[in-house]
Structure 1
Amino acid sequence: MKKRLTMFLACLFLSLGVAMAQTHVTGVVISAEDNQPVIGAFVKVLGTTDGAQTDLDGKFELKVPAGAMLEFSYVGMTPKKVKAAPNMRVVLESDSKTMEEVVVVAYGTQKKSAFTGSAAVVKSGDITKVQVTSAVDALKNKVSGVQMTQSSGDPGSSSGILIRGIGSINAGGSPLYVVDGSPFDGDIKSINPQDIESMTVLKDAASAALYGARGANGVIIITTKAGRADRGTITVDAKWGSKSRAIPDYDYINDPAAYYEMYYKGLYNYATDAKDGKGMTPEKAYIWANKNLTNSSSFGLGYNVYTYPSSERLIGTDGKLNPNATLGRMVTGKDGQQYWLQPDNWLDAIYSNALRQEYSATAVGNTDKSTFYGSVNYLQDDGITVASDYRRFTGRLKADYQINDWLRIGGNMNYSHYSTHSANSGTGKSGDSGNMFAFTRIAPIYPLYLRDGNKKIMRHDASGLDAYDYGDDTSTGLGLLRPFLSGSNALSDNRVNLDFADGNTFNGVATVDVRFLKDLTFRSVNSVYLNESRSKSTTNPWFGLYATEKGSVAVEHDRSWSYNYQQVLNWKPVFGLHDFDFMVGHEYYRFTSTSLSGTKTNMFDLNYSELSGAVVTKGTSSASGFYNTEGWFGRVNYSYDNKYFGEVSYRRDASSRFHPNHRWGNFWSLGGAWLISKESWFNAPWVDELKFKASYGAQGNDNIGAFRYTNTYSIVSSDNAVATVKNSRGNEKISWEKQGMFNVGFDFSFFRQRLSGSIVYFDRSTKDMLAFFSLPITFGWAGYYDNIGDMSNRGLEVELFGDIIRTRDFKWGAHLNLTTYKNKITRIADANKTMWADGAPGYQSGRYFYGEGQSMYTYYLKKYAGVDPETGKALYWQDKYKKNAAGEFELDKNGQPIVEERVKVENTENATYHLCGTSLPDVYGGFGTNFAWKGFDFSIDFGYQLGGQVYDDNYAAAMNHNRGSAMHVDLHKAWSPENKGSNIPRVQSQDQYTNASSDRWLTSASYFSLQNINLGYTLPVKLTRKYGVSKVRIYAVGDNLWLWSKRKGLDPRQSINGGVSNVLYSNVRTISGGITVTF
């Protein structure tokens, strides 16, 4: 009993001692960046498993042993160790430098300081501050070396993208997309931009060579957001906005009176100059021009929309509208009914402001062994024209689980459902439903609608629509024939016709990570992608192309799926100051696709838009395809003392797109870097980091269609018997385009990271370019593919980032990037040198010349020589060649005639073609700035391009005297007897040389754009925490707000090759407001 009492007293005193040794600690954790509480920060007692998290006020409390050390940590902030004390106030600094140290590279990550290649990272904050359907559009003007084009503003449309110039004449130039470590074949629009943590653009061969056959045009690695180990959050974001037309019309003559006057001038000049082979007197020309101005002859406009006394004429002898004429005219049809004619604004009828709204919710959580991320997103993107919209729903679930200390598994699934209505953009041919966007080129004198004698728009009973004027005299019998878009009114067709598509996509990625032995890891990444879509289109039975066939319906079903298997083994030993990273791997990829389609006419009812609802079969079709690649690869990274870095990589790839004898290719890279600022002799306190880097690598490109190595045929019916027709001729010898990339430059950071950036020179060379050559019809084959030449792209990239002011309450930053490069075709195969142009051998394709020593998109045109000051006729340059005494042409060393002189000629058939510059710019890039002050944040971004030329077909069409189409106000500056110094030929009907194709229509491709403005306010935490909310941000955002170019209405951003068109869906401007709430 005595022993038991002694033991009890000993335990009691021991427990009292322990209790007395425990200290109750309280405190608050504050962010140095904004002086606000840090919610959810970890407070850990070092040497134990004990800890706590800060609450909504950033406060914590826990019991700790006397003299204990506490570690405070939070994602994105530098951990801090502090001795426990009462009433603690701990300030955590932002760890932006640490966050930037890791770069996502091929099959893994790498320290930024050890990275030997060229890559640019666009983070979540930059992606979500712009309103984009496709996340890749967030790269616009943000990354040096990246060129992006946008030809259409149609909801759901995508941008084109090139990285470091043009790599091929015919083979595809799009980069490879890699999502969470696995190559991605799907549409990037199926990924919610708010799910993306970062996009890394790999630009050089050292970065991308490990992707072998598919990485020659650069790689964009998309890393989606994942769960966090520190705390759980729920974030909700909603935005609503208005869309409008961003690109205005060209400066057309929009006044009906002015248009009639200009058109009359062209008729009058024609009559006085060349009517019936000789000019008329002014009096006769006046009468003739008025007579033919509005009639339906081969000269007339077909419509007169003015009322004036019957004894008078529409245009006076002074060339001006009759002062007694009033706009609007009453006419009587063959049916005895009266109709009112008045011009309408056709573009106002198809374009209007539209709604864009988007809603997202994300949830992030964790347990002691797992993290997860989940999100849903809904986008409703209405078009600014009739019959156009895009809807998308996405859902993502991403999780990983640490089973034990050597095994970790993960899964990432993304589902997307989309639907879209597309506005018709047909050819605009007579009888066709027409191109609705060609309305921009219609003269301002034509009615869009039919109006009755009371000037009211009539109704079409069968369709229930307004009655539209088709300009073909079929509905009214008025004898009015519109020469432009005759027999069509695309607006009416688009209101009743259907062009609809919807689909479902699924992308799943499963990962397994195994750690074994010492420093060895194995990773398996397995992905699958499925895209299933169904499209349906109808044409109505009342108007347009299929009116005589009582409507048509076309249905198509497409399915594509792919899978990709990766197995990667890493070994990362360390021997003193020597760090190694050995990696070997294998990858297999397969893509398959199927399609099934059918078309029928004679529909039962337009509302029943299925093939079973029509009775006359017009065509059926099905197809399937596949594409395989397989590769083995390896890489070695080396670091000595964290100052000297080296990298070697190799991949052997096979592609099913080539003949079995030529399927395998070898690709490799070498890279090195020197962290100069870490040298003991380097003494520049203002330099934080200075790194020299250089690399070279070889890659391949197989981006052409399947079965180009063998003859292909089309199967047709011949009197109900099977027959074949030659399609393309095979070429067993075609093989990989081979690309070499040299990359050298500096990365730097100065003045405690106040100024950072990079300067890089690159030389991208392509050998054995793949190109398609057409064959004469007598060969029977359409053409063939061959490896025909070499090309180079050499340039300089500069990126600068400024952290200009950084105080507790105010921050100011800025950024700038620019790229300049020269593209050159360095070799054309002798068999393909069909001609010489200005001393360069090569061949012509359309308005371009592909020749040795020339840029890819070098214009090959006749040269405009101005205007004959006496006649007002357009003039062009013609080369006259030197002849010897025998009358034979003297030849130069290349066997080409020597030019003796150049003379001006009127007939363009006699003018000489010349090289006329390139569409590619001299410099392009972007810049911007951002501010933050006491909860307010503001950013603005601009884009620019200098140099290059576009061929402005739109302007050329508007500077001609075409019947019924729009004319440009510059025609007011045309030559006249009073204006003989003009460089614009006189306005004249039937003059085939006035707007002939020539360098007259080349216009500067320079532009300056206001790309994005974002203004937000984050409510004080003291206010939001009362309601259990950690953060609330209210914001306004505008995208594609303004564009300056050489000519109003011209958008050089539409293409790389200098082609522009204003008969496409206009690019749009979007202005929205939104709110983000985090719990």
Structure 2
Amino acid sequence: MKIKLYPVKILPPVSIITAFLLSLPPTAPLQAHALAKQAATALYQTTDEITVTGTVRDDQGALPGASILIKNTNKGTTTDANGSFRLQANRGDVLVFSMIGYQAQEQVVGSGQIAITLKADTKQLNEVVVVGYGTQKRSDVTGAIASVNSESFNKGVVTNPGELLQGKLAGVSIAANSGEPGATQDIVIRGIGSLRSGTQPLYVVDGFVLDNSATGVPTNPLNFINPNDIESIDVLKDASATAVYGSRASNGVVVITTKKGKGKPQVNFSASAAVSSIARKIDVFDADAFRQQVAAVGGTLQDLGGNTNWQEELTQKGISQNYNLSMSGASTDNFSYYASAGYQDQEGILKNSRLKRYSGKLNMNQRAFNGRLNIDYNITASHTENLRPEITSTISDMLSLNPTVPAYTNGVPSLLPTNALNPLTRYNLYSDNAINNRILANVSPSLEIVKGLTYKLNFGLDYSATNRNQQYKPFLGVINESDISNGVLDAGVNANTNQLIENTLNYNWNQDAHNVTVLAGHSFQKFMDETRISTYRGFANNNIDPIYQDHTSTVQFPTAVNSEAIKNELQSFFGRLNYVYANKYMFTATLRADGSSKFGQNNRYGYFPSFAAGWNISNEDFMTNSIFNNLKLRASWGQTGNQEIPSKITKASYLEQRLLTGTGSTSTYPIAPNATSLEGYPYGIIFTRLANPDLQWEVSTQVDVGIDFAFLIPGCLVRWIILINNHPIYY
């Protein structure tokens, strides 16, 4: 076989292949012709760029603002006011046409003219959302529920579930209390719902109701959850949606659902890194301006000859790393699994500010008896290390310290002339390190007894153990700050146990246009919180951390120990009735009775009802050709409560106090006629609080009237809300 060679200088690749193809003699093997043609065709398709024009419309007419994107690239355009577009693309490219409120469509580029008709996306109306103790079609929901799934979560450096939602939902305000890693957050759902219990909502993770008690970790208690394991978050806003949770739902409910296994087995790995720095420095005087301003106001200048920018000295660029590995799948129709392991290391912009989390997750589902028996296993485990500096003092020094003080003298932090501590020295002396181990596990078997009637058991445990050590190494150079000249150690140990057992019966009945769902349940939850804080002073100045030194109590430096144990129980009975007729008219009634050990015998139980009705106007016949994809009118009335009062506040309290010196020893009885001082009276137990068995529950009443509508933008709503606090708690 002879092949003619042609000199090629600037010919495009297609021409080269074409020339080669034409040079093949008829006697060449057929395989050579075929391979050359395939190469020419493939190369032609990837290099033949054409101008694609067209229009995008729906059933009503042109769609301005529709997005056209070449698949797997960032190249694209949008339609103009007439629904027209123009785009450069290669033959064989796949164009993706999309617009909010419509189903996305794909089209392969073959010619230069394309006409697309998008269909309205009704998936959101049929979407299943999580409600209290179950799920429901969004179109049938009468309460105010907002949802965000994993595809819509916030991206970037995220340490807890609250950061996933920030700025995503109307009526939900999420603000971090500081910029430190894993900082606590104020989550406010429709304003403040309680006069006594702050703004913290109730959290439910995979059906397990968390307790909002402090765990000994100074930052966000939800940091133990790896955001990468979360599938969706539903926020229950109004009383109609939250009343089923009764006494703890006055500030709303956040329902977190983690990922489950589905489809073919797959393994996913993700890694990310980020750098953070102070966003905007506060304007303060530099050394030269400070010298001028002190003289200008007639002050006495203590000029130490330095020029220190304390904001630069005390901050750093924080490096964050995040690694996640997950495996999921469904080996058969009867078994599915999701398992993950994660590691996150986030540095703050202040030195000695760091959050590390090691997390593991295992979710399994087993079915049997043709799907009538369904068992869910959910386990979350985490190890969190939280290192913090002395934030208040550091920020204060950063903004107010004399800029003429040199940061270092002879390579070590300078001594301040005011007998105060150089903040750079404080970084070396002070540490606040909290280590938390937490496991959340629950098993939920359910059995369909007869058609439509299902029994479900939910048994779970949430256990958290924290060791927190706040310490100052001895430093003889300063004697007036936090007693650091002798060294100090506050060693805290916290243990939190939350046990839950729930039994529910759910009955669903469908007949023609009628749909009835009835829920009845019982819940018992027991809480145990234990805290012990020991304070030690007087350590050797040997550069060894106080936590590793002798802790013997002495007369000069006595050890102080404070400890407490709090035990509470909550028993609840609840029920809900949902009725839907012809997918147009909806009614919901809910009642929950909560009995709490925190209250006295005269008001041990609180009752929290709610009623709601809705009208799916968009499903009426006269709305067939309407511009609305969804139009719903709904109204609700309901009551939620608050049981977050100090434990045993309704019971009498006693005190026995006997001090060696001073007048603080007041636990005495004035029954000795010859006594001349308090110390002369006999000691005993005295009342500090009388019993109050009539203390009432705080009850919040809410009236909600709203219109939900969607045409071009789904999920628009207008709502009128009235909030009334009937029985605020005073104690």
Pair in the same fold by TM > 0.5: yes
- 1:111 pairs, out of 134, 137, 140, with 137
Q: Which residue is equivalent to 2:511?
A: 575
2:274 equivalent to 1:241: yes
Deviations 1:72-127 (A, max 9, x none): xxxxx99xxxxxxxxxxxxx999871685211000000111110010110111222
Letter matched to residue 424 of structure 1: E
Offset, 1:157: 1.2
CA distance in 2, matches of 1:439, 1:757: 48
Q: Which residue is equivalent to 1:603?
A: 539
Is the 8 Å Cα contact of residues 503 and 534 (structure 1) preserved in structure 2?
Answer: yes
- 2:399 pairs, out of 438, 441, 449, with 441
Residues 658/172 of structure 1: CA separation in 2 closer, same or farther (3 Å cut): farther
Residues 391/656 of structure 1: CA separation in 2 closer, same or farther (3 Å cut): same
CA distance in 1, matches of 2:686, 2:465: 31
Offset, 1:725: 7.8
- 1:151 pairs, out of 161, 166, 177, with 177
Q: Which residue is equivalent to 1:1021?
A: none
Q: Which residue is equivalent to 1:131?
A: 157
Residues 548/528 of structure 1: CA separation in 2 closer, same or farther (3 Å cut): closer
Residues 570/546 of structure 1: CA separation in 2 closer, same or farther (3 Å cut): closer
The two structures, once aligned, show a CA RMSD in angstroms of: 2.8
Residues 33/103 of structure 1: CA separation in 2 closer, same or farther (3 Å cut): farther
CA distance in 2, matches of 1:711, 1:509: 37
CA distance in 2, matches of 1:621, 1:136: 33
Residues 726/548 of structure 1: CA separation in 2 closer, same or farther (3 Å cut): farther
Offset, 1:608: 4.7
Offset, 1:724: 6.3
Q: Which residue is equivalent to 2:550?
A: 613
- 1:179 pairs, out of 205, 217, 232, with 205
Q: Which residue is equivalent to 1:528?
A: 461
- Identity of aligned pairs, percent? 27
CA distance in 1, matches of 2:164, 2:124: 24
Is the 8 Å Cα contact of residues 657 and 702 (structure 1) preserved in structure 2?
Answer: yes
Residues 420/716 of structure 1: CA separation in 2 closer, same or farther (3 Å cut): farther
Offset, 1:169: 3.1
- 2:410 pairs, out of 450, 454, 458, with 458
- 1:266 pairs, out of 282, 297, 304, with 297
2:407 equivalent to 1:407: no
Q: Which residue is equivalent to 1:345?
A: 309
2:611 equivalent to 1:670: yes
Offset, 1:163: 1.0
Residues 35/646 of structure 1: CA separation in 2 closer, same or farther (3 Å cut): farther
Matches within 5 A, 1:958-977: none
Letter matched to residue 146 of structure 1: V
Is the 8 Å Cα contact of residues 598 and 611 (structure 1) preserved in structure 2?
Answer: no
Deviations 1:515-552 (A, max 9, x none): 02221111111111000010112212114536675322
TM-score, scaled to structure 2: 0.75
2:306 equivalent to 1:365: no
2:258 equivalent to 1:224: yes
- 1:511 pairs, out of 429, 432, 444, with 444
CA distance in 2, matches of 1:139, 1:98: 19
Which has the larger displacement, 712-721 or 112-121?
A: 712-721
Q: Which residue is equivalent to 2:17?
A: none
Q: Which residue is equivalent to 1:304?
A: 303
Offset, 1:448: 4.5
Q: Which runs of 5+ in 2 are unaligned?
A: 1-66, 73-102, 105-117, 213-220, 666-682
Residues 449/749 of structure 1: CA separation in 2 closer, same or farther (3 Å cut): closer
Residues 93/564 of structure 1: CA separation in 2 closer, same or farther (3 Å cut): farther
Q: State the SS of the aligned residue for 2:448.
A: strand
- 1:203 pairs, out of 237, 241, 244, with 237
CA distance in 2, matches of 1:260, 1:351: 24
Is the 8 Å Cα contact of residues 168 and 770 (structure 1) preserved in structure 2?
Answer: no
2:524 equivalent to 1:588: yes
Is the 8 Å Cα contact of residues 213 and 655 (structure 1) preserved in structure 2?
Answer: no
CA distance in 2, matches of 1:507, 1:705: 25
Residues 618/94 of structure 1: CA separation in 2 closer, same or farther (3 Å cut): farther
CA distance in 2, matches of 1:733, 1:403: 50
Deviations 1:217-260 (A, max 9, x none): 100000111011x21211111101101113431x33x1334334
- 1:469 pairs, out of 415, 421, 430, with 415
CA distance in 2, matches of 1:515, 1:102: 20
Offset, 1:718: 2.2
Q: Which residue is equivalent to 1:757?
A: 716
- 1:733 pairs, out of 677, 694, 719, with 694
Residues 471/656 of structure 1: CA separation in 2 closer, same or farther (3 Å cut): farther
- 1:551 pairs, out of 475, 487, 506, with 487
Deviations 1:294-313 (A, max 9, x none): 2xxxxxx5x124xxxxxxxx
Q: State the SS of the aligned residue for 2:151.
A: helix
Letter matched to residue 736 of structure 1: W
Letter matched to residue 415 of structure 1: A
Offset, 1:33: 10
Residues 507/642 of structure 1: CA separation in 2 closer, same or farther (3 Å cut): same
Q: State the SS of the aligned residue for 2:246.
A: helix
Q: Which residue is equivalent to 1:166?
A: 192
Is the 8 Å Cα contact of residues 276 and 319 (structure 2) preserved in structure 1?
Answer: yes
- 1:377 pairs, out of 333, 339, 342, with 342
Offset, 1:711: 4.1
CA distance in 1, matches of 2:691, 2:397: 43
CA distance in 2, matches of 1:576, 1:414: 43
Matches within 5 A, 1:327-346: 328=305, 342-346=306-310
Letter matched to residue 256 of structure 1: A
Residues 128/378 of structure 1: CA separation in 2 closer, same or farther (3 Å cut): farther
Q: State the SS of the aligned residue for 1:438.
A: helix
Is the 8 Å Cα contact of residues 691 and 746 (structure 1) preserved in structure 2?
Answer: yes
Is the 8 Å Cα contact of residues 244 and 590 (structure 2) preserved in structure 1?
Answer: yes
Offset, 1:554: 2.4
Letter matched to residue 398 of structure 1: N
Is the 8 Å Cα contact of residues 192 and 198 (structure 2) preserved in structure 1?
Answer: no
Q: State the SS of the aligned residue for 2:234.
A: strand
Deviations 1:336-369 (A, max 9, x none): xxxxxx2312221111111001000111111221
Q: Which residue is equivalent to 1:1006?
A: none
Offset, 1:445: 3.6
Is the 8 Å Cα contact of residues 449 and 469 (structure 1) preserved in structure 2?
Answer: no
Matches within 5 A, 1:249-260: 249=282, 251-252=283-284, 254-260=285-291
Matches within 5 A, 1:643-662: 643-662=584-603
2:562 equivalent to 1:634: no
Deviations 1:634-658 (A, max 9, x none): 1110011111111111111111221
Q: State the SS of the aligned residue for 1:220.
A: strand
Q: Which runs of 5+ in 1 are unaligned?
A: 1-31, 38-76, 79-91, 268-292, 295-300, 306-327, 329-341, 427-434, 451-456, 460-465, 473-485, 772-784, 786-1079
Is the 8 Å Cα contact of residues 149 and 232 (structure 2) preserved in structure 1?
Answer: yes
- 2:227 pairs, out of 181, 189, 193, with 193
Q: State the SS of the aligned residue for 1:231.
A: coil
Is the 8 Å Cα contact of residues 558 and 595 (structure 1) preserved in structure 2?
Answer: yes
Offset, 1:728: 5.9
CA distance in 1, matches of 2:618, 2:172: 29
Q: State the SS of the aligned residue for 1:550.
A: coil
